[in-house]
Chains A and B, each alone.
Chain A
Amino acid sequence: MSELKRTQLYDAHVKAGATMVDFGGWEMPIQYPEGIVAEHLYTRSACGLFDVSHMGRLIIEGPERVAFLQHVLSSNVESLGLNQAQYCIIPAEDGSAVDDAYLYRFEEDRFLLVVNASNTDKDLAWFEPIVKNFDCTIRNITGETVSIAVQGPKSEEILKKLAGVDEVTKPARNNLSTLMMEGRKVLVSRTGYTAEPIGYELFLKNEDAYWMWNRLIELGGKPAGLGARDTLRMEGMLPLYGDEMGVDEEGKPMPIFALALARFAVSFDEAKGNFIGREALLKQSEAAASFRAKNYTPEAMETLRKRVRPIALLDRGVMRHGMGVYRNGEQIGWVTSGTMIPYFKTEGEGENVKLLDETGKRAIGICYIASDVPVNGEVEVDVRGKRLKAVIPSKHITNNVPPYVVPVIYKAK
Chain B
Amino acid sequence: MTIKPELQYSKDHEWVKKEDDLFVIGISDFAQDALGDLVFVNLPEVGDAVTAGEAFGDVESVKAVSDLLSPVSGTVAEINEELLDAPEMLNNDPYGAWIIKVSDVTATEELLDAAAYEAFCAEA
Chain A residues close to B by CB (< 8 Å): 19, 30-31, 35-38, 227, 231, 316-318, 320, 339-341, 361, 363, 384
Contacts and interface: CB of A to CB of B under 8 A. Distances in A.
Interface size class of B (residues with CB under 8 A): 10 to 19
Contacts of B37: 35-38
B36 interface: yes
Interface string B32-48: 00001101101000000
Contact of B36 (A35, A318, A384): A35
Contacts of B88: 37
Contact of B63 (A38, A227, A316, A363): A227
Contact of B40 (A30, A35, A227, A317): A317
B122 interface: no
A49 B39 CA distance: 23
A231 B62 CA distance: 8
Nearest to B33: A33
Most chain B CB atoms below 10 A, which of A231, A341, A361:
A361
B84 A318 contact: no
Nearest to B63: A227
A142 B36 CA distance: 31
A30 B63 contact: yes
Contacts of B61: 36
Interface in B8-61: 36-37, 39-40, 42, 60-61
Given A231-B62, A318-B65, A340-B60, A36 B40 contact: no
A341 B37 CA distance: 11
Nearest to B60: A318
A316 B60 contact: no
A94 B95 CA distance: 56
Contacts of A227: 36, 62-63
A317 B58 CA distance: 11
B63 A340 contact: no
Contact of B84 (A36, A231, A316, A340): A316
Closest 3 CB pairs of A and B: A340-B39, A35-B37, A36-B62
Contacts of B36: 19, 31, 35-36, 227
Interface string B79-107: 00000100010010000000000000000
Contact of A363 (B40, B65, B84, B91): B40
Given A227-B62, A320-B65, 11 more contacts: A30-B63, A35-B91, A36-B61, A37-B39, A38-B37, A316-B84, A317-B40, A318-B60, A339-B60, A340-B40, A363-B40
A240 to B, nearest CB: 14
Contacts of B65: 318, 320, 384
Contacts of B42: 317
Contacts of A340: 39-40, 60, 62
B90 to A, nearest CB: 13
B79 to A, nearest CB: 14
B62 A37 contact: yes
B64 to A, nearest CB: 8
B63 A318 contact: no
B87 to A, nearest CB: 9
Residue from A227, A318, A320 with most neighbouring chain B CB atoms (10 Å): A318
Contact of A339 (B39, B84, B91): B39
28 contacts: A19-B36, A30-B63, A35-B36, A35-B37, A35-B91, A36-B36, A36-B61, A36-B63, A37-B88, A38-B37, A227-B36, A227-B62, A231-B62, A316-B40, A317-B40, A318-B39, A318-B40, A318-B60, A318-B65, A320-B65, A339-B39, A339-B60, A339-B63, A340-B40, A340-B62, A341-B62, A361-B39, A384-B65
A339 B60 CA distance: 9
A341 B63 CA distance: 11
A393 B91 CA distance: 31
A320 to B, nearest CB: 7
A223 B42 CA distance: 31
